[in-house]
Structure 1
Amino acid sequence: MATTSPLPSGRLSTASTLLSNPSNGSTTASSGLTASSAPFKFPATYSFPPFFTLQPNTTTRLSQFQKWSSLIQAWCRHHRLYRLSLIDAVESPLFHNAQLRKRLSLADARTIVDWMVKGDGGGRRAEWVGGDSGGKAVAWIWWRTPEEWAGVLADWVEETGQKNTVLTLYELMEGEATTSQEFHGMDPDVLLKSLQVLVKRGKAQVFGNEDQQGVKFF
């Protein structure tokens, strides 16, 4: 495993500039996780070695958090991932640039996701599976938050005339009627979280047991 080291203090200003305003260009990589036929295009910062080490300068580190958050969300969206195992991710192209021989450490990856969990800066774009007591090993990555998914579902219900119709969760996730929808193939736990948003708004009712749950939209 390649090791990384902080930038010398004399180069911090350069790092801050490059991390905040990367040059045009991108790196392309394929992965065994691919859910799309097209390879994932990495941003230009992915080809900048110091990007893989969290810097001590506050401004530079904030920029890194923002860039990593955007990259993680884009990666998960491309590969249709809803939860991310950090142990697996540090071995994947997401956190390991084989060409540069640079890898984000597990500790730094956890720090970045911790920032994504916060509402004041990270925008709550992540959530630890099992909460803080779950070991912070796996995280939900909200490239769409449950509230945003609820909006997508509500729009589909309105557009397709599904109000007062009972559907199984399986039909929503795997049915032919939803094959063209972004929520087709969704993680069942994410679907439930999103439906609960609609339940709280009085726009849906979820019923049944875990093996055969259904939903009625209003």
Structure 2
Amino acid sequence: MTTSNSFDFPREYHFPPFFTRQTNVNTHRAQLEKWSSLILGYCAHHKLYKLSLSATAAGNNDNSSSNAGASADDLFHNRNLNRRLSTADAREVLDFMRKEGRAEFVAGGDNGAAKEGGGDVAWIYWKTPEEWAKELEGWVDDTAQKGTVLTLYELTQGEDTRGSAFHGLDPDLLQKALQVLVKRGKAQIFGQDDSQGVKFF
């Protein structure tokens, strides 16, 4: 089987050495790049915004996703080969992605660690907060929403955004994207917690 919920895994995923840390420096670098590309593609396909390494170790589906059909364990464990990327190696891949700006360890993750290279839960930026901000800004322009106050719920769950790239976006990631726009003077956030709204300029 080459798919998980219709996701096409790359050919490397079907070879045992892909799951073992390579000792040659150049080969290892290529391995990290291929794992990074795979993780980004897998998470984009399933609309996963976070991965939990503890879920990988435990083999469960709790990876902070609304898509219950996809998990970190499905990604890091090739059942056909009976091979699994170790938690330490998976963390190294995520740290590599962090340095490339494509992952960020979550503060207050499962083990409470948020330091560089630590933590069990990481954001996976198949689109960075800056890229999500650009999506939001484009939608605001296209739909003439400048000057309108919208709730954060309306942005990610409302009928008007259905079909947009950010419909269903993780609320915390939405906040990161909005902060990018706030810093640029393109948006202002009102209210607090569950009753927050945003005005675009």
TM-score range for the pair, normalised by the shorter chain length: 0.7 to 0.9
Q: Does 1:216 align with 2:188?
A: no
Provide the C-alpha distance between the structure 2 equivalents of 1:97 and 1:212, rounded to a whole number of angstroms.
43
Segments of 5+ residues of structure 2 without an aligned counterpart are 60-72, 108-113
Aligned to 1:106: 87
Deviation at 1:89, TM superposition (A): 3.3
Provide the C-alpha distance between the structure 2 equivalents of 1:187 and 1:68, rounded to a whole number of angstroms.
23
Provide the C-alpha distance between the structure 2 equivalents of 1:207 and 1:154, rounded to a whole number of angstroms.
18
Aligned to 1:74: 41
- Superposition TM-score, scaled by structure 2 size: 0.86
Aligned to 1:33: none
SS of 2:92 mapped into structure 1: helix
> CA distance change for structure 1 residues 133 and 147 in 2, over 3 Å: closer, same or farther?
closer
Provide the C-alpha distance between the structure 1 equivalents of 2:24 and 2:101, rounded to a whole number of angstroms.
23
Deviation at 1:88, TM superposition (A): 1.4
> CA distance change for structure 1 residues 58 and 129 in 2, over 3 Å: closer, same or farther?
same
Aligned to 1:94: 75
Q: Any conservation in 1 of the 2:91–2:117 contact (CA below 8 Å)?
A: no
SS of 1:161 mapped into structure 2: coil
Select which of 60, 82, 96 maps to 1:115. 96
Aligned to 1:15: none
Aligned to 2:106: 129
Computing the radius of gyration from Cα coordinates, the structure with the larger value is 1
Alignment of 1:140-179 (within 5 A): 140-179=123-162
Deviation at 1:134, TM superposition (A): 9.7
Q: Does 1:84 align with 2:51?
A: yes
Deviation at 1:135, TM superposition (A): 4.9
SS of 2:191 mapped into structure 1: strand
SS of 1:132 mapped into structure 2: coil
Provide the C-alpha distance between the structure 1 equivalents of 2:91 and 2:118, rounded to a whole number of angstroms.
10
Aligned to 1:200: 183
**When the two structures are aligned, how many residues end up with a matched partner?**
181
Aligned to 2:69: none
Deviation at 1:54, TM superposition (A): 1.3
Segments of 5+ residues of structure 1 without an aligned counterpart are 1-25, 31-38
Percent identity of paired positions between Structure 1 and Structure 2: 59
- Superposition TM-score, scaled by structure 1 size: 0.80
Aligned to 2:166: 183
Provide the C-alpha distance between the structure 2 equivalents of 1:134 and 1:110, rounded to a whole number of angstroms.
7
* 1:60-98 Cα deviation digits (max 9, x unpaired): 011011111111111111111111101213532200111
Aligned to 2:70: none
SS of 2:115 mapped into structure 1: helix
* Counterpart amino acid of residue 88 in structure 2: A
* Counterpart amino acid of residue 42 in structure 1: F
Provide the C-alpha distance between the structure 2 equivalents of 1:154 and 1:170, rounded to a whole number of angstroms.
17
Provide the C-alpha distance between the structure 1 equivalents of 2:39 and 2:157, rounded to a whole number of angstroms.
26
Q: Does 1:54 align with 2:58?
A: no
Q: Does 1:28 align with 2:3?
A: yes
